[in-house]
Amino acid sequence: MRRLSLLLPAILASAAPAQPPEPRFSADAFRGHVEFLASDLLEGRDAGTRGYDLGASYVASRFRALGLTPGGPDRSWYQEVPFVEATRARDATVSIGGRRFDATKDVAVGASTVATAQDLTAPAVFVGYGLRAPRLGIDDYRGLDVRGKYVVALSGFPKGMASDVGAHLNSMKASAAQDRGALGLITVRTLQDAKRRGFDYALKSSREPAIGWTQPDGSTFALAPKLRATATVDTPAAEALFAGARRSLTDVLAEADRAGGRPAGFALQPSVSIARESTHRRFTSPNVLGILPGSDPKLADEYVLLMAHLDHEGVDPALPGTDKTYNGAMDNATGVATMLEVARAFAESGIRPKRPILFAAMTAEEDGLLGAEYLAKNGLPAGGKVVGVVNLDMPVLLYDFQDVIAFGAEHSTLGPMVRDAAARAGVALAPDPLPQEGLFTRSDHYKFVREGVPAVFLMTGFANGGDKAFTSFLATHYHKVTDDLALPIDWSAGAKFARINYLIAREVADAPEAPKWNPNSFFNPARK
């Protein structure tokens, strides 16, 4: 009996069906994708340009070669997104309490994607940070009448508030103002915000084109389309807003600079006038969508979305020197390369996942997560619904990473799935090392979070030199022309990152249940 007990495991093992080997991941294949996507030929892959379209064609050709099913309308690889680009026709005119302010120096007023001409003269009300979150008992508008008026709100959110929650509420300020009947929004920078970057940053941003996507009736989608004027003000204009108020600007900013500081709102004395004119240009740019069908007919409508943005910053002829192309090697050719290699691994594995997987290269992420928003708002062209999202954006592949970060992992059952999959690859799941940055709300997956879909955003971790590599990249190369193929990219790390994401996607697609929000997550739409 003892001998039989020793032999039985071997007998059973030989009788069990052999598991197919895990797909191999090639550093050279990963490198090939990045070298093409980040080449000068693609001219920085700005949405709506020839270079972006070349990149989109490349992704579609890879999907076709892998035997994926087209995921766009009418069995196309492309979901064309209609855009409007707004440019300032002239500098805005701004007055506070009858005093004119320079829109090239004191006040930043960008173009409007909603209307070509907007003009609003109205009283103003200070609304603190301008946040509303009934489920958290937050309402900075409580007791304030802002109907038909400007709201004046502090930038950001209170010190000590959870960064992902605060970043989300900050992104919803315009809609909160509109919901309470305001017609304009003026932002006053906190001391913390002013220390982080000078006002020149706001002025530069206001001079750049604004982009939005358009709806079937031709109107531009916007969270707050009824706001007729928006601006960010520097100190002289901010002081004018608070002239004669019951509290000075200095006192308000000092309170906001303390941990937990939440200045209450009050009416302001001066009337405010802002007028702006914009010119509009319409164009299209596609999301590229490929589907790997699932094996379980009961789960045929439950899509796992593996996404990476294809676009970058294009070419700037005004840059000094000879290099004027934002190649976007790390941001985000590496993310697209990861997505393509995961698709290849699934196609070559011989085993289809239980749930279908939608592989998507997104447009216009750099313009405000717009391609992702269009897909999230309009639904899948092929039908079905997205039940979970894994987003790949700017993995910093300059070192042999030993851990990964899944921003948003603590909010849903995707967190344990990512942890378990990474562990099989010998890689740890690390907590968010930059909670103050609110990165969970700053990439394409966030548009699906807003629609109630659990999501994570994958990035290489800070162990084994990752901290220095990441911070150095941000300081030196992020959104600069030096994010190119001259960087010392670790191609083996790219193959490793692709393998991890294959294991994650396999885990999610084969799980008995679709991803679910954790009951206490702020982002759980069922939480009251």
Query: For 443-482, what is each residue's pLDDT tens digit?
Result: 999 999 999 999 999 999 999 999 999 999 999 999 999 9
Total length of the chain: 528
| AA letter at 230 | T
pLDDT at residue 439, as a whole number: 87
Query: Does the structural domain 27-83+284-510 have CATH classification 3.40.630.10?
Result: yes
As a whole-number percent, the residues of the chain with pLDDT over 70 amount to 96
In the numeric block, which tokens belong to residue 179?
Answer: 């919901």
Q: Cα–Cα distance between 248 and 241 in angstroms, integer?
A: 10
Query: What was the pLDDT predicted at 402?
Result: 97
- In the prediction, which pLDDT does 22 show? 81
Instruction: Tell me the pairing of strands 210-213 and 117-122.
Output: unpaired
The C-alpha atoms of residue 473 and residue 480 are separated, in whole angstroms, by: 10
CATH 3.50.30-classified regions of the chain: 99-270
- Section 255-266 average pLDDT: 97
Q: Report the pLDDT averaged over residues 166-185.
A: 97
pLDDT at residue 492 above 90? yes
166, pLDDT greater than 90: yes
Is the pLDDT reported for residue 14 higher than 80? Answer: no
User: Residue 259 has which token pair?
Assistant: 């941990």
Distance CA 447, CA 436 (A): 20
- Pinpoint the alpha helices (H) of 147-216: 163-171, 173-179, 191-196, 199-207
Cis ω before 524 (30° cut-off from 0): no
The rounded percent of the chain whose pLDDT value lies above 90 is 93
The pairing of strands 117-122 and 272-292 is: antiparallel
Mean pLDDT (whole number) for 203-228: 97
Tell me what pLDDT residue 10 has: 44
Over its C-alpha atoms, the chain yields an Rg (Å, rounded) of 25
Q: Averaged over 234-245, what is the pLDDT?
A: 98
Tokens representing 489? Answer: 């990219």
DSSP state of 331: I
Contact criterion met (CB below 8 Å) for 375 and 381: no
Number of H helices, E strands in the chain: 15, 23
Q: State the distance between the two ends of the chain, measured CA to CA, in whole angstroms.
A: 61
Amino acid letter at 75?
R
| Residue 93: pLDDT over 90 | yes
Instruction: Please report the pLDDT score of residue 438 as a whole number.
Output: 82
- Residues 6+ positions from 499 with CB-CB distance below 8 Å: 22, 25, 345, 425
For strands 210-213 and 78-88, give the pairing: antiparallel
Closest to 483 in 3D by CA, of 474, 471, 494: 474
Phi, psi of 266 (to 5 degrees): -165, 160
pLDDT tens per residue across span 66-82: 999 999 999 999 999 99
H-helix segments, 66-213: 163-171, 173-179, 191-196, 199-207
Query: Token pair for residue 454?
Result: 């659990």
Q: Quick check: 3 pLDDT over 60?
A: no
Query: Is the pLDDT higher at 6 or at 281?
Result: 281
Q: Give the CA angle between residues 498, 499, 505 to the nearest 5°.
A: 85
Alpha-carbon separation of residue 259 from 127, 162, 256, 445 (angstroms): 18, 12, 8, 30
Class of domain 99-270: alpha beta
Helix or strand run (H / E) with residue 246: none
What per-residue confidence (pLDDT) applies to 527? 80
Higher pLDDT, 99 or 15: 99
Phi, psi of 9 (to 5 degrees): -60, -40
- Distance CA(454)–CA(292), nearest Å, equals 20
Q: What is the dihedral of CA 125, 129, 130, 136, to 10 degrees?
A: -140
Question: Looking at residues 495-516, what average pLDDT do you find?
Answer: 97
pLDDT at residue 349 greater than cutoff 70? yes
Task: Tell me the three-class secondary structure of 373-434, residue by residue.
Answer: HHHHHHCCCCCCEEEEEEEECCCCCCCCCCEEEEECHHHECHHHHHHHHHHHCCCEEECCCC
How sure is the predictor about 21, in pLDDT bands with cuts at 50, 70 and 90?
Answer: low
Residue 41 has pLDDT above 50, yes or no: yes
Residue 77: Cβ-neighbour burial (10 angstroms; 0-12, 13-18, 19+): buried
Nearest of 48, 47, 33, 56 to residue 329 by alpha carbon: 33
Pick from 293, 351, 345: nearest CA to 19 = 351
In sequence order, which residues have a C-beta less than 8 Å from that of residue 461 and are 6 or more positions away?
401, 402, 403, 404, 405, 428, 430, 433
User: Is the distance from CB of 356 to CB of 291 less than 8 angstroms?
Assistant: yes
Q: For the chain, what is the mean pLDDT?
A: 94
